[in-house]
Amino acid sequence: MQFNIEINNQQVSAKRGETIKNVLDRIGINIPTLCYMNGFSPSGGCRMCVVEIEGIPGLVPACSHPVSEWMKIRTHSPKVLKARKVIVELLLASHPDDCLYCERSGACRLQELAVEMDIHDRKYHGKREIIPIDKACPSVIRDPEKCVLCGRCIRVCDEVIGVSAIDIVGRGSESRIGTSYNKGLNMQTCVKCGQCIMVCPTGALTERSSLTSVVEALNNPELFPVIQFSPTVPASIAEEFNLKASKDILNIVRAALKRIGFRQVFDTSMAADLHIMEEAATFVERLNSNGPLPLLTSCCPSWVRYVEELYPSLIPNLATPRSPQQIMGRMIKNYIASSAGIKPESVFVVSVMPCTAKKYESGQDIGKEGSYRFVDAVLTTRELNKIIRLLGIDFSALEPEPSDTAFSMRSSAGNLFGVSGGHLEGLMRTIHFMLTGQEMSPLKLMELRGLKNRKEARVKIGKAIFPVVAVNGLAQMKPIMDEIISQKNAFKIIEVMACPFGCINGGGQKLNPDEKNLKSRMKALYDVDEEEMIKVSHKNPIVNDLYDKFLGKPGSDRNREILHVSRNTDKE
């Protein structure tokens, strides 16, 4: 039902069921928000968005208050402005004053609000409580003192990731965002995806930094530092440093990484090609031997942890190939190092990922062989940006540098790993080839593209039709997992990425992204698919070369040992 309401003395049409905030957004009136998140259930907790309604005593939160016909709303009256200022002043009352040293400085919503509200001194002095920092988790560090209890992390953990690792503990003035029995994030169902970092308005949630160890390794003459970067990294760097997203961006990034001091630069896409080859072989084998289907992809460590923690009975359905990061690390240490006559222990493999869970993954037992890890340090895209600034790399002075290692040859299928649906698309291309000996035609699976949380496709291979689905945002998986357990699920392959829309929106990406950023990051990946000559993993010459000389056939025992993990299935 449509009706008119009055906002700031203007007649505006509104619909029943809309919130005041919805109407304000439509007509372009900005009000400050803090706990509000577009697309999530409103909580109305922070009161930042309060407005004045004639006839209602007190102020109401615009984000959660529904509109009614009779309303006369004022969004910026003196009373409202004063209330908002006091709210921020009260939030600051017990906030540690360490903006200069805070990880979040510059991207902090609280800081922004203090500037917007023109706050220049501490008006209220709250009791500052000393609460220990929760730093047991290899990916996410929690500093409860900086928390403003907006609950954004809780909602993202509940509604998008579906693991509810954190929630409000206690009541009233004693409530804190916490974990059960105060045991630390590491002991929870947390999947380390880092989406809570992305939505945190302050520095209460940050990633565990590997900056120091990487800079140290760069300056250690006994080490041979090399770096691999995920397919999403070039687009993210271009975004951060305002570079034109062009064909050359890959070579410019390579030049920048060389300038930083890495001796060799690898593109993780090549390992993604290997991952696809092994995964396709696994699928074909399971199809022929009635193995556990649907096949659940295994490239996302958050997702793998989700299965291990919450659905251990479905661990056999997970694909067994290591994630591309781990494969690349292992290939560098086992193969490149030995062919260059360097000891694997002396090679320091850094990987740049749009992901915090990769930090957790690289420290797992499956990421080790003897005395060394396959990946020594994982940087998020954010951390790489910091290193670039720290070391004063000037992009305008860089000459694009073509790849100097054969290992950087990639197919665009491997490159598509960065976006939800892309991994599945690349995988289907190779499965089609393995089953029929012919290329899939057309190669593109348009049903699997686009910014949606669940994308289904029915892929025709030979005479058979394979229903497959790409899912992003782990919360979407709960009903599907229950279907699989009760054997009501017809999908043959399920690609899962924990973060909404995949790695392009990973927990290690630039903070506060908007939809435009996501679209351009996605476009960059699909553009590569248009331009690249090799569009399927099984045509990547390096991959084939590796199989010929080193690994044997896809799925063979030798590479099973190298490229696959064996998971403990009897956890419960």
Partner 1 sequence: MNQILIFCNMNKEVPVHILEKYPAGKRDGLIPILMEIQDEKGFLSEEVFQEVGRYLNIPANKVYCVATFYDRFRFKPAGRYLIQMCRGTACYLSGSTTYLDEFVRQLKVSPGGTSKDRRYSLEVTSCMGACDSAPVIRINDKIYSRVTPEDLVRIIRSLKEKTE
Q: Give the C-alpha separation, 315 to 320, whole Å.
A: 10
Q: Closer to partner 1 by CB, 178 or 201: give it.
A: 178
**Contact predicate 430/282, CB 8 Å:** no
Given the DSSP bridges, would you call strands 347-353 and 377-380 parallel, antiparallel or unpaired? parallel
Which among 171-179, 235-243, 400-408, 506-514 is the span making contact with partner 1, rule CB under 8 A? 171-179
Q: Does 101 bind partner 1 (CB under 8 A)?
A: no
Q: Does 188 bind partner 1 (CB under 8 A)?
A: yes
Site string for partner 1, 149-168 (x = CB under 8 A): --------------xxxxxx
Element (H, E) at 151: none
Q: Give the C-alpha separation, 123 to 387, whole Å.
A: 37
Q: Closer to partner 1 by CB, 178 or 418: give it.
A: 178
Residues 224-253 that bind partner 1 (CB under 8 A): none
The helix, strand and coil proportions of the chain, stated in percent and rounded to the nearest 5, come to 45, 15, 40
Residues 274-333 that bind partner 1 (CB under 8 A): none
Buried (b) or exposed (e) across 113-146, using 16+ Cβ within 10 A?
Answer: bbeebeeeeeeeeeeeeeeeebeebbbbbbbbbb
Beta bridge partners of 353: 380
Q: In what order do the strands lie in the sheet with 493-497?
A: 295-296, 493-497, 464-472, 454-461
User: Minimum Å distance from CB 128 to partner 1?
Assistant: 22
Q: Closer to partner 1 by CB, 178 or 344: give it.
A: 178
User: Minimum Å distance from CB 307 to partner 1?
Assistant: 16
Phi, psi of 267 (to 5 degrees): -100, 120
Q: In which region does residue 29 sit, left (phi positive, over 0), alpha (psi from -120 to 50) or beta (all else)?
A: beta
DSSP secondary structure letters along 437-451:
SS--SSS--GGG-SS
Q: Does 43 bind partner 1 (CB under 8 A)?
A: no
Site string for partner 1, 116-155 (x = CB under 8 A): ----------------------------------------
Report CA-CA distances (Å) from 260 to 255, 280, 389: 9, 37, 10
Q: Closer to partner 1 by CB, 139 or 268: give it.
A: 139
Q: Does 179 bind partner 1 (CB under 8 A)?
A: yes
User: Minimum Å distance from CB 475 to partner 1?
Assistant: 11
Which among 100-108, 177-185, 334-342, 363-371 is the span making contact with partner 1, rule CB under 8 A? 177-185
Question: Which residue in the block uniquely carries the two structure tokens 């709250």?
Answer: 126
Site residue total, partner 1 (CB under 8 A): 15
Q: Give the C-alpha separation, 334 to 318, whole Å.
A: 25
193 burial type by CB count under 10 A (0-12 exposed, 13-18 middle, 19+ buried):
buried
490 burial type by CB count under 10 A (0-12 exposed, 13-18 middle, 19+ buried):
exposed
User: Minimum Å distance from CB 66 to partner 1?
Assistant: 25
User: Minimum Å distance from CB 498 to partner 1?
Assistant: 16
Q: Closer to partner 1 by CB, 178 or 422: give it.
A: 178
User: Minimum Å distance from CB 572 to partner 1?
Assistant: 9
User: Minimum Å distance from CB 93 to partner 1?
Assistant: 24
Element (H, E) at 155: helix 152-155
Which among 33-41, 175-183, 392-400, 500-508 is the span making contact with partner 1, rule CB under 8 A? 175-183
- From the list 83, 93, 119, 169, which residue makes contact with partner 1 (rule: CB under 8 A)? 169
Q: Closer to partner 1 by CB, 450 or 479: give it.
A: 479
| Length in residues, the chain | 572
Q: Does 485 bind partner 1 (CB under 8 A)?
A: no
Which among 170-178, 341-349, 423-431, 525-533 is the span making contact with partner 1, rule CB under 8 A? 170-178
User: Minimum Å distance from CB 311 to partner 1?
Assistant: 12
Report CA-CA distances (Å) from 314 to 193, 283, 317, 328, 371: 20, 16, 5, 27, 31
Q: Which of 441, 420, 421 is nearest to 429 (CA)?
A: 441
Q: Does 23 bind partner 1 (CB under 8 A)?
A: no
User: Minimum Å distance from CB 110 to partner 1?
Assistant: 24
User: Minimum Å distance from CB 170 to partner 1?
Assistant: 5
Which among 90-98, 142-150, 169-177, 375-383 is the span making contact with partner 1, rule CB under 8 A? 169-177
Buried (b) or exposed (e) across 262-284, using 16+ Cβ within 10 A?
Answer: bebbbbbbbbbbbbbbbbbbbbb
| 372, amino acid identity | Y
Q: ω into residue 554 within 30 of 0, thus cis?
A: no
**Contact predicate 188/166, CB 8 Å:** yes
Write out the E strands in 164-294.
167-169, 176-178, 205-207, 224-229, 264-267
Which among 25-33, 128-136, 174-182, 507-515 is the span making contact with partner 1, rule CB under 8 A? 174-182
Which among 63-71, 179-187, 327-335, 438-446 is the span making contact with partner 1, rule CB under 8 A? 179-187
Tokens of 393: 């790399």
Q: Does 181 bind partner 1 (CB under 8 A)?
A: yes
User: Minimum Å distance from CB 305 to partner 1?
Assistant: 15
User: Minimum Å distance from CB 461 to partner 1?
Assistant: 37
Q: Does 189 bind partner 1 (CB under 8 A)?
A: yes
State the distance between the two ends of the chain, measured CA to CA, in whole angstroms: 53
Tokens of 124: 């209220």
User: Minimum Å distance from CB 313 to partner 1?
Assistant: 10
User: Minimum Å distance from CB 494 to partner 1?
Assistant: 21
Q: Closer to partner 1 by CB, 164 or 405: give it.
A: 164
User: Minimum Å distance from CB 28 to partner 1?
Assistant: 38
Q: Closer to partner 1 by CB, 512 or 569: give it.
A: 569
Q: Closer to partner 1 by CB, 402 or 479: give it.
A: 479
Which among 90-98, 178-186, 259-267, 430-438 is the span making contact with partner 1, rule CB under 8 A? 178-186
Q: Does 180 bind partner 1 (CB under 8 A)?
A: yes
Instruction: Give me the residues that bind partner 1 (CB under 8 A), please.
Output: 163-171, 178-181, 188-189
